[in-house]
Amino acid sequence: MAPYDLTGYWVSVVTEDWRWRMTTPPKGDYISIPLSDEGRRMAFAWDPKTEGSCKAYAAAGLLHIPTRLKISWQGDDVLKVESDAGAQTRLLRFAQTRDSGLGTRDSGLGSRDSKTDSGTPGARSLQGFSIAEWEPLGPAGAGRAGGGPPPRALKVTTTNLSEGWLRKNGVPYSNQTTLVEHWDRVAFPNGDVWLTVSQYVSDPKYLTGDYTTSMHFKRELDGSKFNPQPCRDL
């Protein structure tokens, strides 16, 4: 049984890094990103004519881009995340059997504990291969005060990525990148429901350390504004 329901429609609300997300920054503007020398060289080599390339919509950059998301279940074990910006699809696979002790498969939320292996990595791709799991909150290995089942949250680890961009101006990440994400859902007292995705990008080639960001999406009542627009497949 999943602790919370992520399905539905969500919209980016860009209150952070606005200039770098709402517009395409100038070439070489990699401020805030811990680029290596090689990464900087690549960033300065970016050709502005390639603006709009699908590389900007690859897994480690996709959620930075102002977009709407449609999240749904694909079968029992795969959470499907579609963006209208760039018309991309990420598949979050609950690949390992887990005995959560939290209840039945069908929670009534439309979400499940994974029971089977949901795929194999295959060829490298823009969206890579994502493994999802409901991970206990808190420090690693800790129990919780008061007993009972530990609260859990969605952790996604993505590998098998092809090269992509962290920003629309070609700030690169390599095919050696690992992307770890925590997907949380909170409901504020005014009734607004938010999805937040905290991302940690590790790239031994173009980054000198983890690149850490967190994006937030507000829940929308329906998909009337979800309007997929393809990226440029250069």
Partner 1 sequence: MFKRISLVVLVLSPALLAQGPPPGPPMVELVGSWAMVNDEERLIRIDPGPELGNFTGFPLNPAGRQKALTWNSTIQAIPEHQSRPHAGTYSMRGPNPSPHIGEVIDPISRRVIAYTLTGLFENANRTIWLDGRPHPSDAAERLWTGFSTGEWENGMLHVTTTHFKPMFIQRNGIPVSPYAVMHEYFVRHGDRMTLITQIDDPVYLEEPFVRTSTFRWNPGARENPITEVDVADEIPGLRQGDVPHYPLGATHPEYADDNQLPFVATLGGKQTLYPEYVETLRQLPKTVALPTGAWSAPQLPPAPKGRSAKDLARPYRPTYENTGQVEVVPVQGTVYMLAGAGSNITVDVGPNALLVVDTNETAMSDKLLAAIRTISPLPIRYIVNTSPDPDHVGGNEKFAKSADNSGANAFYEQGARVYAHENAYARMTNPKNGTPLPTSLWPTDAFAASLKTLFVTGEPIEIIHQPAAHTDGDLMVFFRKSDVISTGDLFSTDRYPVIEAARGGSLGGVLDSLNHLIDIAIPEYNSMGGTRVIPGHGRICNEIDLVEYRDAMTIIADRITELVLDGKTLEQVKAAGVTLDYDGLYGATTGLWTTDMFVEAVYREIKANTAPWKARLLRNVPAAELTSVASNTTAAGAKRVAAAAKPARKPSGDPLEGKWVLDLFASSYEPSSLLPYRREMVITVDKEETTHAVSSWRRPQGNGSPLSTYNYTAKFDGKPYPIPNWGKANVTLKRVDANTIERTIDGAEIGKETATWTLSADRKTLTVVAKGTDATGVTYASKQIYEKR
Among 8, 119, 150, 228, binds partner 1 (CB under 8 A): 150
Which among 54-62, 117-125, 149-157, 170-178 is the span making contact with partner 1, rule CB under 8 A? 149-157
- Measured between alpha carbons, how far is 22 from 165 in angstroms, rounded to an integer? 15
CA distance 124 to 208: 23
Q: Does 188 bind partner 1 (CB under 8 A)?
A: yes
23 binds partner 1 (CB under 8 A): yes
**Of positions 11, 63, 92, 156, contacts partner 1 by CB under 8 A:** 11
What's the rounded Cα separation, in Å, for the pair 173 and 53? Answer: 14
Half-sphere exposure of 22 (CA within 13 A, CB side): 8
Complete DSSP assignment for 92-112:
EE--S-----S--S--SSS--
Least distance in Å: CB of 56 to partner 1? 12
Q: Which amino acid would we find at residue 210?
A: D
Site residues for partner 1 per CB under 8 A: 3-4, 11-19, 22-23, 26-34, 66-68, 84-85, 135, 137-140, 142, 144-148, 150-153, 155, 182, 184, 186, 188-190, 192, 194, 196, 198, 200, 211-216, 218
